[in-house]
Structure 1
């Protein structure tokens, strides 16, 4: 068993507790100084050099047991199921702390994080097309066990900052008695509150959606947007093959500028089709454009909506 205190940019201090098979991070002090890698409005993870090694050393694979102690005692604690990308999970934590510290709130939101880097991208993408196979069952069971652990750890609300994991939302939430915020619901409801007007006569308000093939095929973003009365514009097959997928490959090759240029083309293509705004529902494309890029004002990061919804819930529960 180990127990130590880690100084972090996400809060003044963070406690790390666990065993070689089990790790939980939770905050217990408010943010009282600027975040280290927030560029005004947007975090640019592609300029971060040190976080991947840090996250790899701290976010250990989790094998959960019911004997774990209750980490949170507050009635507004948020439990966070880490996604495929550990770095994206850390960025979500930054967003959560950033939004919770707005309007002079120095207390922040108490949270617990459970992350398992052994669940690789390949396992998710193969299982999220259809959750009827063995892989889908194993992944949903794994994530559901993390949800149960967070509940036992004192969380009173659950969030999952991973797009593709929401394809298994129904299975993961099975038997859950706590609020479990859905990222697509959060972003769709926020966009509804904006009050967009149609850009084309005779058409409804149109929202662009850029995501990985697995997320698009899962269909939960489209469903939630339709539920709020939006039309959804997505890249066609040619755009996916010639622009979106090559952009992902550029990122793997560390060709950031090449990926940015391709993403700009994809966004402009949806704006030309009269989309009022474009949702970037992809961990890979998250924060890819610099904050001062002219196209940023037309884009929405669903993880910001999820973080704001979690903060809103926590403030209400408190």
Structure 2
């Protein structure tokens, strides 16, 4: 039975659009009617997750709870959320609804190939709270994170994307090189702005796109086939 999908979005809007685009492009469909019905609540007023988690800023949880409940009320059979850092609040969100809520980070962790050493490209909050470290550890991997200097540069690049700006290739390249120097041989795009950086800079490095992993999981959950 086909299911309707709800996207708890807005964190940020461009990342939400990227997820929806990937759902559409990755769904095996011959016409419009073959696609999934999708409800999107892109609430850009949700407070910054990193500011809340690390620096005591306003909590985004009440806003996310409102969005999740709204999506369930209008008929979503399943929820997804294109923001890695927001999964810090995943348990509270799942308790507030009565429908399945696919986990972005878990879907990405499943994609790490055997024998590889994943390096994380993500917000400081995602890195420091261990969201990815715990997820990949379940599959037998040890996560590599940037040093403090390059993590700060990664945050700068993410903020540039949110402002509609393309990060400097050399700066972003230095972050990836720092991860390589620390033992990584594959990257996890662990912030939903990171795939946009790869796209805009036309990067071909071996990497796991968490947004794409979530899109594929949502397509399958909703009863459709993934276009390979």
* Superposition TM-score, scaled by structure 1 size: 0.63
Per-residue deviation, residues 48-84 of structure 1 (Å, max 9, x unmatched): xxxxxxxxxxxxxxxxxxxxxxxxxx84111110132
Task: Evaluate the alpha carbon distance shift between residue 257 and residue 217 of structure 1 in structure 2; reply closer, same or farther with a 3 A threshold.
Answer: closer
Q: Which runs of 5+ in 1 are unaligned?
A: 1-73, 198-204
Aligned to 1:153: 74
SS of equivalent to 1:170: helix
Task: Evaluate the alpha carbon distance shift between residue 161 and residue 246 of structure 1 in structure 2; reply closer, same or farther with a 3 A threshold.
Answer: closer
Aligned to 2:135: 224
Aligned to 1:213: 124
Note the 1:259-278 alignment, pairs <5 A.
260-278=169-187
Q: In the alignment, is residue 307 of structure 1 matched against residue 228 of structure 2?
A: no
Q: Larger % of helix: which?
A: 2
When the two structures are aligned, how many residues end up with a matched partner? 224
Q: In the alignment, is residue 244 of structure 1 matched against residue 154 of structure 2?
A: yes
How far apart in 1 are the matches of 2:163 and 2:109? 33
Residue 222 of structure 1 and its aligned partner are, at CA, apart by 1.3
Aligned to 1:128: 53
SS of equivalent to 2:197: coil
Q: Which runs of 5+ in 2 are unaligned?
A: none
- Among 256, 266, 288, the residue aligned to 2:166: 256
Residue 145 of structure 1 and its aligned partner are, at CA, apart by 1.9
Residue 284 of structure 1 and its aligned partner are, at CA, apart by 3.8
- Among 131, 144, 148, the residue aligned to 2:65: 144
Greater radius of gyration (CA)? 1
SS of equivalent to 2:39: strand
How far apart in 2 are the matches of 1:248 and 1:144? 25
Note the 1:160-171 alignment, pairs <5 A.
160-171=81-92
- Among 165, 186, 189, the residue aligned to 1:280: 189
Note the 1:1-318 alignment, pairs <5 A.
75-101=2-28, 107-121=34-48, 124-129=49-54, 135-136=58-59, 139-191=60-112, 194=113, 196-197=114-115, 205-241=116-152, 243-248=153-158, 256=166, 258=168, 260-290=169-199, 293=202, 295-315=203-223
- Indicate the RMSD between aligned Cα atoms, in angstroms: 2.8
Contact 1:79 1:156 (C-alpha < 8 Å) held by counterparts: yes
Contact 1:128 1:214 (C-alpha < 8 Å) held by counterparts: yes
Task: Evaluate the alpha carbon distance shift between residue 105 and residue 212 of structure 1 in structure 2; reply closer, same or farther with a 3 A threshold.
Answer: same
Contact 1:280 1:299 (C-alpha < 8 Å) held by counterparts: yes
SS of equivalent to 1:80: strand
Residue 300 of structure 1 and its aligned partner are, at CA, apart by 1.9
Task: Evaluate the alpha carbon distance shift between residue 207 and residue 284 of structure 1 in structure 2; reply closer, same or farther with a 3 A threshold.
Answer: same
Contact 1:141 1:172 (C-alpha < 8 Å) held by counterparts: no
SS of equivalent to 1:215: helix
Residue 292 of structure 1 and its aligned partner are, at CA, apart by 8.2
